[in-house]
Amino acid sequence: MAFLIVGVLFAILSLPFFWGQIQVLHSWPVRQAQVIRSEVVVEPASKHDQLYAARIQVVYVVNEQPVMAELTSYQSSSYAETVRRAAEFPVGSRHAIRYDPHNFAQARIGAGWNRRFFAVPLITLGCGLFFGALAAGFFLAGRRAGKPDPKVDAIRGVSP
């Protein structure tokens, strides 16, 4: 029963994440932005660990005014992987971004109907499905264990 509850909670928890990403896709306008800075920075993750982040700064125009935004496009404990991902955004390159119409400096790069953009809600939903499958497995195993098996009873010499 506990696995089922945890599974349902994870599934419910994924809904606001899905909703937030869908809202970005439906209501945030698209602009072409130019990368003006691209670098890999170190961020402390815990007492003895660190994360590398691909930070990029972009500039785009909204209402005929230039807007600058600093974005973290990727984070990992692997320096090589982070450098590889940062190389996707060299200085001077242009990329489609979506920006918040209420806060122009809030932007998302790579927003679209893809796994990378929906990673957090998909992982959360996946955890819910995993725990739901565990609950179903234990439920079925429990039901099966409670039923007498006529073949086993015949071997033991027990009559039903």
pLDDT tens digits for 127-137?
A: 999 999 998 88
In a domain, 150, yes or no: no
- C-alpha separations of 15 from 11, 20, 111, 122, 130 in Å: 7, 9, 18, 10, 16
Report the distance separating Cα 88 and Cα 40, nearest Å.
Answer: 12
C-alpha closest to that of 58 among 47, 67, 46: 67
Q: For residue 85, what are the domain limits?
A: 29-110
Q: Are 72 and 96 members of one domain?
A: yes
Cβ-contact 141, 134 below 8 angstroms: no
- Predicted local confidence at residue 146, as pLDDT: 66
Q: What is the pLDDT of residue 158?
A: 60
In a domain, 157, yes or no: no
In angstroms, the CA 22 to CA 16 distance is 10
How far apart, in whole angstroms, are the C-alpha atoms of residue 62 and residue 103?
11
- Within this chain, do residues 100 and 118 fall inside the same structural domain, yes or no? no
Give the Cα separation of 111 and 118 in Å (integer): 9
- Would 82 be classed as within a structural domain? yes
Do both 22 and 45 map to the same domain? no
Give the residue ranges of the chain where pLDDT is below 70: 146-160
Q: Does residue 33 share a domain with residue 22?
A: no
What is the value of pTM for the model shown?
0.68
**Per-residue confidence (pLDDT) for residue 144, from 0 to 100:** 75
Judge whether 65 lies within some domain. Answer: yes
| Domain total in the chain | 2
Q: 76 and 128 in one domain?
A: no
Q: What is the pLDDT of residue 111?
A: 82
Burial of 103 (0-12, 13-18, 19+ CB in 10 A): exposed
How far is the C-alpha of 72 from the C-alpha of 54, rounded, in Å?
6
Q: Phi and psi (nearest 5°) for 133?
A: -65, -40
Question: Do 39 and 64 fall within a single domain?
Answer: yes
Q: Using alpha carbons only, what angle is made at residue 21 by residues 15 and 22, rounded to the nearest 5 degrees? A: 85
Q: Are residues 94 and 121 in the same domain?
A: no
